[in-house]
A and B are shown apart, each in its own frame.
Chain A
């Protein structure tokens, strides 16, 4: 067994190098690395795309769907999403004298009971402009009540809307109350001038959707008055997402409302969370008396009555009538909402400050700004992002709540929050007025949450090692 005997000739001297061989992947800064990991996160990318789509909807949408969000169409109030409709062209409305009895003598005494009205009929063509109902006199009655229902009445207690009452000498009623092109069940009930007799006669009428030539011209449905004749049909405005309580186009209003809601919902939280981070970061990092003082000031701001100061800011910034008042609302939100984030960040910083790696970095000579940028902020990012994603809907709803009590954006400027507010009142009869703004808020919130998740994972330095 011979041993290998090395000698110097077997080796060759290596040339001197300035640096050692690099065995590493390309060095990435913290933020570059975060971006790489964010791009790998499918959910974050989807949410980014949704946010881009929302931006397109808000900024480019109005160019494609050029409908005035403030234009009212009282012929189509609270219409659900539907296909384009056509309307009958009619003469301008002229009042109806109705049918009255000359030399009417009221009954001498209140009768115990009277027969049901007879010959209840619709006079003329029933259109959404007016439905004219007439009937024959009921002996013994000194007045009539007129009811209208959208379903066939099942009993005397179920006659529907009490439209109005007539005196004993009036044997007709002209109904113009928000008529739609659908079946109506009219009922005529005789009265003694005050109380009803429990009899009624029913009539079913289906008015036709009507528009006058002037209206059609005004709305740009026809080019000139001569383009259509009375009795023709014209196609009326199309509202893909339906209309609101004044017949305004929902799609156009959602686009317009997006500007307010997204602006308030994104810019305000970004600003006040930023203020909170800086404030809380400083307080937590520097600590001591300075921290105590700053935190007491934060407590002070938290306890200020929000509503009162909102009114005050509105006045202080000189919001004139008609101005939307978005900027003052933004400033007020930023000025009053930052303390929560500040407290949160401070708490985190206090905790991180005591961590071993900070100590180590400091021993290695790390400067303050390096510690803050490199260690403290990245480590608080998770909590901050969660706060931020929650601040988005919170800001949108604060705006809605302010609209609710009359301190929000000035009408007719819509916002998603105020549209929700209007919609919740009619959520059973016109669900689309609540559904669409709520849907858009949900999509926005969802997008920001997913993005927040993605960012949390991407920015979390502790997760770096696991890729």
Chain B
């Protein structure tokens, strides 16, 4: 077990190094550079800028400088937020994105498992039809529409009560987090509901369920001990990448709800070709994601003893 974990972690480090290298190469292939701005600057000023940011050196040299700095855990200074270290940006804004993401995943996972199980139990009956209709709605409306609608709903609620019941935007208290995380988790919740439903339906016909029934186990016990536990496997598989997608993909929600998350920094960094922030966030997220995958794989082994960890 320990060996396995160590092996996976080592492989993870190599994966991250690959990600960093691929991103570094890709980034330098994109035309334009972080020093370009609306107002053109003279070649002399440009030379000053290049010297300051080390862009006057050959790309290979820049790569090795980057690598050695990365090993020291230093990603340099942002090009767009010129007085801030990339490390500070990640340290300040990742927790926000992560909180939002964890809450969204919490909504998505509880909702998904619950509704999915419900639809499977009441297959083709009223609850199934209603929930599946909502699921379709959940996946066919883009997140920017949900975000806009969700916020509008809050404005209307507040103006109805004539009183600030739930804040419309911003960050700070749990009340600020409710609507954004709900909006963010909605699509994932719909996905998990669907997955859970089909996975539950498959499990229902398994022999061990029949055996359990034949042995006279109570339906609740069968449901929790056998059905749910087996059906939840595919859900956990997608959860890993979904967690990463949610914690990184909150750009729209962060923008609409004025949340100081890392998603905004990353999208802006790509658009502005902010080399240091791109590298910093990519490596950080890459490592985070690889780590999540490892955690999920290990979890998988715990939940399903049949899957042996080599």
Contact = CB atoms under 8 A, between A and B. Distances in A.
Identify whether the interface residues of A are mostly helix, strand, loop, or mixed. Answer: helix
Contact of A305 (B23, B252, B306): B23
B148 A427 contact: yes
Interface string A299-310: 110111101110
- Size category, B interface: 35 or more
A442 B191 CA distance: 15
25 contacts: A292-B11, A296-B14, A299-B12, A300-B19, A302-B289, A303-B282, A303-B289, A304-B22, A305-B266, A315-B29, A315-B30, A315-B31, A343-B240, A343-B293, A351-B306, A354-B307, A382-B198, A389-B194, A394-B139, A400-B144, A404-B144, A417-B142, A441-B141, A444-B140, A449-B194
A174 interface: no
B290 A299 contact: yes
A442 B15 contact: no
B270 A299 contact: no
A420 B285 CA distance: 30
B237 A438 contact: no
A463 B11 contact: no
Interface of A: 287-288, 292, 296, 299-300, 302-305, 307-309, 311-312, 315-316, 339-340, 343-344, 347-348, 350-351, 354, 382-383, 385-387, 389-390, 393-394, 397, 400-401, 404-405, 417, 420-421, 424, 427-428, 434, 438, 441-442, 444-446, 449, 456, 460, 462-463
B137 A442 contact: yes
Nearest to B285: A303
Contacts of B278: 305, 308
A340 B238 contact: yes
A320 to B, nearest CB: 14
Interface string B117-151: 00000000000000010011101111111001100
Contact of A344 (B145, B234, B307): B234
Given A296-B15, A340-B241, A434-B145, A311 B198 contact: no
A340 B304 CA distance: 20
Interface of B: 11-12, 14-16, 18-19, 22-23, 26-27, 29-31, 132, 135-137, 139-145, 148-149, 152, 190-191, 194-195, 198-199, 201-202, 205, 233-234, 237-238, 240-241, 244, 252, 266-267, 270-271, 278, 281-282, 285-286, 289-290, 293, 300, 304, 306-307, 310
Contacts of A438: 140-141, 145
A445 B136 contact: yes
B139 A299 contact: no
A299 B304 CA distance: 22
Contact of B140 (A299, A344, A446): A446
B27 A308 contact: yes
A307 B61 CA distance: 26
Given A300-B15, A311-B270, A400-B142, A354 B306 contact: yes
Contacts of B142: 397, 400-401, 417, 420-421, 441
Given A296-B14, A421-B144, 11 more contacts: A316-B29, A343-B238, A343-B240, A344-B234, A347-B300, A438-B140, A438-B145, A441-B140, A441-B142, A449-B194, A460-B201
